[in-house]
Amino acid sequence: MENKCEFCNYKSVAETKLTERELEELSCNCLTVSFKKGDSIIRQGTYSTNVAYLKSGLAKIHIEGPYHVQVVRIVKPANYLGLPTTFGDKVNQYSVTAVENSEVCFIDITYFRKLLALNHDFSNQIIVELCKGEIESYQKCVNRTQKQVRGKVADVLLDFSDNIYHSDKFVLQINQEDLGNLVDASRESISRVLNDFGREGLIKISGKEVEIVKKSMLQMISKHGW
């Protein structure tokens, strides 16, 4: 499968800063791999040898907690999957798993480092993204620890609708167990809250399809934490 990064429609913001020649070279140093829903993309504890980048699909980043798995965040396409784990340590500090069928681009780490060294606009953009990621993770953590389950579920629904699927109607690919691991709540609590929201007319659920009906109410619940 011949890849031409130059014509790739899934470029990251950082990659838009690359020159034609750099993109040409990148083509020779990356490899696209397809993953089925549920497949492991990066495994915590193994050596990290490539920069992984999500071209299409959806993935979850998760780490082992003392009690159970914690889903750290959901990554949508046109984003790197493992920069912190690739550059922060030789060994992957977290796992990444496909939530939907996904295409992942693996970029040779040596070439990636070369790009960082040569193209300052590129490295600058990477720094900006890392910074944003860290701030986002702080915010996520506060939400997880301070809000009650209703607030956390409202959060996650709004995040899916606003940032991931860009629609008030979407198919929840993630199951309730994982949803619980994402916001730190039990599977049962997620189920209860989701159905409560349905009964209260805030959302409509049929199977895996969710439609947000009263977004402003959800925003209210998200903001106040209950």
Partner DNA sequence: TGTAGAATGTGATTTATATCACAATTTTAC
Partner DNA sequence: GTAAAATTGTGATATAAATCACATTCTACA
How far apart, in whole angstroms, are the C-alpha atoms of residue 94 and residue 86? Answer: 10
> Interface with DNA includes 211 (CB under 7 A)?
no
- Bridge partners of 209, per DSSP, are 171, 206
| Smallest separation, CB 36 to its own copies (Å) | 26
Nearer to its own copies, 13 or 127 (CB): 127
Taking alpha carbons only, the member of 101, 107, 102, 3 closest to residue 48 is 107
Q: Which of 100, 129, 162, 177 binds DNA (CB under 7 A)?
A: 177
Strands 59-64 and 69-75: antiparallel
Which positions from 137 through 166 interact with its own copies, judged by CB under 8 A? 137-147, 151
Nearer to its own copies, 39 or 129 (CB): 129
Residues 6+ positions from 53 with CB-CB distance below 8 Å: 12, 30, 79, 80, 81, 104, 105, 106, 107
| Smallest separation, CB 144 to DNA (Å) | 10
Length of the chain: 226
Burial of 176 (0-12, 13-18, 19+ CB in 10 A): middle
Nearer to its own copies, 157 or 210 (CB): 157
Asked whether the beta carbons of 179 and 62 are under 8 A apart, the reply is no
> Interface with DNA includes 139 (CB under 7 A)?
no
Q: Which of 122, 184, 212, 218 binds DNA (CB under 7 A)?
A: 184
Pick from DNA, its own copies, none: which does 205 bind, CB < 5 to 8 A by kind? DNA
How far apart, in whole angstroms, are the C-alpha atoms of residue 170 and residue 186? Answer: 23
> Interface with its own copies includes 65 (CB under 8 A)?
yes
How far apart, in whole angstroms, are the C-alpha atoms of residue 15 and residue 78? Answer: 10
> Interface with DNA includes 195 (CB under 7 A)?
yes
Q: Which of 194, 203, 218, 221 binds DNA (CB under 7 A)?
A: 194
> Is residue 187 within a helix (H) or strand (E), and if so which, with residue range?
helix 187-199
Q: Which of 29, 119, 191, 219 binds DNA (CB under 7 A)?
A: 191
| List of residues contacting DNA (CB under 7 A) | 67, 148-150, 175-177, 184-189, 191-192, 194-195, 205, 207-208
| List of residues contacting its own copies (CB under 8 A) | 63, 65-68, 70, 72, 83-89, 93-94, 113, 116-117, 120, 123-124, 126-128, 130-135, 137-147, 151, 184, 223-225
